[in-house]
Amino acid sequence: MSKAVGPAVTRNRVKRRLRHLARERLSSLPGSAVLVVRALPAAAEASYDDLGRDLDSVLERIAR
């Protein structure tokens, strides 16, 4: 995770949130899929629900 996201405490919080959100959605991916999630600086200020909606949006685009 890039230092642009924020200090270590913020980066770790974002990383934990994204890991949890991605883990919940793994079953919706094809078996051969590889998921790479990159956090942008705005992720530091985003709520858990906002991150979840963004991740859902991306996964929907991939599924099409």
Percent of the residues in the chain that have a pLDDT greater than 90, as a whole number: 58
Q: Please report which helix (H) or strand (E) contains residue 20, including its range.
A: helix 8-25
pLDDT one-digit tens code per residue, 45-55 = 999 999 999 99
Instruction: Compute the distance between CA of residue 62 and CA of residue 28 in angstroms, rounded to an integer.
Output: 11
Over range 55-60, report the average pLDDT. Answer: 90
Instruction: Compute the distance between CA of residue 1 and CA of residue 6 in angstroms, rounded to an integer.
Output: 10
